[in-house]
Amino acid sequence: MAWNIEWRASLANLGTMVKYLSISMLVPLFVAVVYSEDIWVFLLSIAITAAAGFALEQLEKEPDLGPSEALLLVSLAWTTASIFGAIPFLLGGLGTESTIGLSLESGSAAVSSIVNALFESTSGFTTTGATVLGEISLERHSHALLLWRQLIQWLGGMGIIVLMIAILPELAVNGAQLMQSEAPGPDLQKLTPRIAETARALWLLYFGFTVLLVMILYGLHLAGFAPKMNLYNAVAHGFTTLPTGGFSPQADSIAAFSAAVQWAIIPFMVVAGTNFALFWHVLKGEAERLYQNSEFRAYTGLLAVFTAVLAAILFGGAAPVLEIGGPTEGLAENSLRHAAFQIGSLLNSTGYANANFAQWNQSAQIFLFFAMFVGGSAGSTGGGVKVVRWLVVLKAIRRELYTTAHPEVVEPVRLAGTVVSEDAIRGITAFTMLYLILFGVGAVFLGLDAGRAGFDLTVLEAASASLATLGNIGPGFGRLGPFGSYLFFPDSSKLLMTLFMWLGRLEIVPVLALFVTGVRDR
Amino acid sequence: MRILIVGAGEVGSSIAANLAKNHDVVVIETDEAVVEDLNFSLDVLAVQGDGTDLEVLEEADVRRADMVIAATDSDETNIVISGTAKTIADIFTIARVKRRRLLTTWEQSQGAFGVDFMVCTDLISAEAIFRTSEVPNAHDVDTFANGLIRMVELNIEVGSPIAGQRVADVDIAETLTFAGIFRDDELIVVTGDTTIEAGDKLVVIGSQEAVQDFAAETAVESPNGIDDVVIIGGSEVGYQTARLFEANGYHPRLIEQDRYRARELSELLTDTTVMESDGTDTEFLKRENVGDADVVIVCLESNEKNLLASLLARKIGAKRTLAIVETAEYADLFEEIGVNIAIDPRLETAEEIVRFTREGHTEKVVMLQHDRAEVLEVEIDDTSWVAGRELVDVVDELPDGVVIGAISRDGELLGPRGATVFEPGDHVVVFVDATVLDEIIHRF
């Protein structure tokens, strides 16, 4: 295996990305000014990030990206963004009791704090939403820092690379290759002849939905339906709903807000898990494309069925005594709202909570766990295996059974009448298998690592931690529940989960392709 | 009429043979041996050369021709020939194509490519197969007047309820007419006294339902329509046939031996079960219960294979078999040996093209029993001698061997009665004995 990669070209482009990342830090800086908080954290972060960006850019004046360089760029972009994104956490928590602030007490404490900050930042950019914060509160952390946590999820949602293609003309040449490596789902859909316009269209849609949600949330506040949903909270939750992120500056997530807010967020979570290309077609006046799309039909169908089943379970009394969220037994509105919210949140990997589902009974928990395997749609901001892959896998299995009885039958797998090529089926089956294997291996590793470190980790906790990070979902079960934290894991486990979030966001293949073959000759 | 035929392949040469009787035919063909052969075997002028070449067209005197029929093996060539001929001469152009898509394009933009009429051989063969398989015991089925009127040539089998009956005693619907009977090599004009015998081929003309009902009544075992359709051979005809069955709500099975073609077909056909196997593999046919099929259609690449596969299907129990026959002379042989119906693609194509060579207002021509008789659809115009006259008078003046089968007026079917008065605009379906054909063509 020869590494004939023009790595300088990749790194120089990376430098450009880092430079732009420093600009995005102006947002929390502005918030710090507004709330009269410490501005040095972000000024320093901006300086470090911008300097690093400029330095990297000097490696190659006219970077020329081939397919291998593109793959390297995409893989590195997410780690690099996570690393620089962690700087404000480290600086902001310096000298405080924050679990993600840089600790200088001892060598191992410093390492742990850096691992924590990296975990939190990766969880942000990959829109996972798993946290290692010991306590989420505006008393403990500044408004600016918690908003940064929300903002990086928003940046990661539609894709850092897609954003770069949208704004950097020089990336457009290899844009399709770049987007293919980053975009969730098995296929890249070009909406316009020029890839940069496609990227811009997707980001505009994403931006539009975000603005709409912020306006609705703040509107509810002004109308008196949501006392706690002030402008800061409205923006913060707008930032993490559309990317299926799940971070919240509130310790009790969406349970902190009124039922009206919860109902308002549900449709936006559904939108976030939908292929954004479909909305583009709807805006073009082809609304029928939405319901003709077999993935969208399956996705909404699954949401409806899962919600109905969970609502029935909750109505039957699966949530006996709850600290947060309130009882559901025999309460129709509560049951339905909790079911719709939690399925809308977990099926497509958002990770918000409006009740502590980790305290629901076994039947409800195992059902939610099952829902987590589904994932969003291809071309959405959601994580997981993706609905379209499950559709193809199930149809391929059905065909396998049929041809066992009739060996001569030749039958293609179809999605809404369109034939799925055998190559695509092989790729999708391999991906799904790999996903399940990684999930299993991850759970075992976390269990063994917990044993080594000498603390108790239940099977459900280990399994849900593996799945919640690989699928970019966020919360798990037990102590990893929606209002819990991943803080108690040893550093080694946190690093594995950081890797999992990265693998999950890039859908495993580009990253593994880097290490296996693919990137050989130019 | 002076007719130029380009390409003397199977279709081209059979059209040439058909037209040579009544018209001046010039054939252009690239293969020298074929040219030589044609000059001797048919009363036509054969010219060697490439039909897309202007010089060759000039040599064939395209400017004096009334019609050019482009029937080479290449779709593009045929279209170029039509376009070229159209630009240099005032001429009626007919192009034969294989790809159905081209036909669709042409249909949606009439006159495209300089083609006045486009005929897709495989599609019309498939249509003939589909029409014939839907009617029990039918030997040939055709529709007229936009599907309003149907003609069926029925096989009267031993044990049929009407075998041995006098025509006058057979109870038929008002909208049905007995046109004629083919018995052995004879054409019998039907009267009330004619006795129908087993082995006859009875031609009836009437409304869709009347024909369908009558065919079902005369069948030995009355099947409740067809359901299980098996197509052996994924040729273009096989594919088009499957498509037609799909379009009419059937779920046919299609057997194709070639792996890649099978895959291609499975992608093209959504409601068809495609199987990759040899259609002559008895073990496979039995395992997949092909013997239970209501109709087995064989469209393999050679006569021998078609015959073999049809006979095998019959042997394991298939109720009815239809096979494509590539050589016109074998059609009867096929049917004698045990294939229920042999479909000749060239005949079907010729029927489509020949009508343009007829003077007057012939809308459609169907040839029966090697052109022993024809069924014509004629439009009556103001100048026609029959306009404004009663049917009974008209019939008196017509020679023997001509039967008025049905009349359509303003989209409605009129059962022909003696007192019916012909009006301009009527479409009349007439059964004509070929011996009096020339006489009759000029009469309407």
Mean pLDDT of B422-428: 87
- Minimal Cα distance from B257: which residue of A? A408
* Amino acid A148: pLDDT: 93
Torsion sign, CA atoms A25, A31, A33, A38: negative
pLDDT > 70 fraction of chain A, expressed in percent and rounded: 92
Label residue A329 left, alpha or beta by phi (over 0 means left) and psi (-120 to 50 means alpha): beta
Top residue of B256, B267, B268, B282 to mutate, by most chain A CBs within 10 Å, is B267
- Nearest-Cα distance to chain B for A410, in Å, is 5
**Which H/E stretch holds residue B430?**
strand B427-433
Is any Cβ of chain A less than 8 angstroms from the Cβ of B267? yes
What is d(CA A288, CA A338) in angstroms, rounded to the nearest whole number?
31
What is d(CA B28, CA A7) in angstroms, rounded to the nearest whole number?
65
Token output for A47:
């300086």
* Amino acid A1: pLDDT: 41
What is d(CA A394, CA B409) in angstroms, rounded to the nearest whole number?
56
Q: Tell me which amino acid residue A472 is.
A: N
- Minimal Cα distance from B254: which residue of A? A409
With bands split at pLDDT 50, 70 and 90, how would you rate the model's confidence at B331?
confident
Mean pLDDT of A154-176: 78
* Amino acid B444: pLDDT: 64
What is d(CA B38, CA B1) in angstroms, rounded to the nearest whole number?
19
Is any Cβ of chain A less than 8 angstroms from the Cβ of B265? yes
* Per-residue DSSP letter, A420: E
* Amino acid A394: pLDDT: 94
* Amino acid A299: pLDDT: 93
Q: Burial letters for A24-46: b for 16+ Cβ neighbours within 10 Å, e otherwise?
A: bbebbbebbeeeebebebbeebb
- Nearest-Cα distance to chain B for A398, in Å, is 15
Is any Cβ of chain A less than 8 angstroms from the Cβ of B246? no
- How many contacts does A have with B, using Cβ atoms within 8 A? 30
The chain-wide mean pLDDT, for chain A, equals: 86
* Amino acid B263: pLDDT: 93
Give residue for tokens 């994580």. Answer: A383
For the cut 50, the answer to whether the pLDDT of residue B104 exceeds it is yes
Q: Which residues of B touch A409 (CB under 8 A)?
A: 273-276
For the cut 80, the answer to whether the pLDDT of residue B440 exceeds it is no
- Minimal Cα distance from A402: which residue of B? B273
Higher pLDDT, B10 or A127: A127
Q: Which residues of B touch A412 (CB under 8 A)?
A: 263, 266-267
Record the pTM: 0.82
Q: Which residues of A touch B275 (CB under 8 A)?
A: 406, 408-410
Higher pLDDT, A166 or B377: B377
Spatial neighbors of A388 by CB under 8 A, at least 6 apart, are: A185, A186, A295, A298, A377, A378, A415
Residue B379: CB atoms within 10 A of its CB come to 17
Contact A410 B262 (CB under 8 A): yes
Rg over alpha carbons for chain B, rounded to the nearest Å, is 22
Contact B276 A408 (CB under 8 A): yes
For the cut 80, the answer to whether the pLDDT of residue A337 exceeds it is yes
Q: Burial letters for A238-270: b for 16+ Cβ neighbours within 10 Å, e otherwise?
A: bbbbbbbbbbbbbebbbbbbbebbbbbbbebbb
Contact B275 A410 (CB under 8 A): yes
* Amino acid A188: pLDDT: 65
- Nearest-Cα distance to chain A for B340, in Å, is 27
Tell me how far CA of residue A320 lies from CA of A461, B102, B306, in angstroms: 21, 68, 73
Is the separation of the CB atoms in A242 and A347 below 8 Å? no
Q: Which residues of A touch B265 (CB under 8 A)?
A: 410
Contact A419 B267 (CB under 8 A): yes
Is any Cβ of chain A less than 8 angstroms from the Cβ of B286? no
Candidate from A93-107, A263-277, B118-132 with smallest mean pLDDT: A93-107
Tell me how far CA of residue A338 lies from CA of A227, B234, B438, in angstroms: 20, 55, 86
Top residue of B266, B281, B285 to mutate, by most chain A CBs within 10 Å, is B266
Paired sense of beta strands B341-343 and B321-324, if any: parallel
- Minimal Cα distance from A406: which residue of B? B288
Token output for B383:
């100048």
What is d(CA A286, CA A263) in angstroms, rounded to the nearest whole number?
28
Is the separation of the CB atoms in B1 and B357 below 8 Å? yes
Q: Tell me which amino acid residue B233 is.
A: G
Contact B273 A409 (CB under 8 A): yes
Paired sense of beta strands B67-70 and B45-48, if any: unpaired
Tell me what ipTM this predicted complex has.
0.75
Contact A409 B265 (CB under 8 A): no
For the cut 60, the answer to whether the pLDDT of residue A520 exceeds it is no
* Amino acid A160: pLDDT: 80
Is any Cβ of chain B less than 8 angstroms from the Cβ of A409? yes
For the cut 80, the answer to whether the pLDDT of residue A94 exceeds it is no
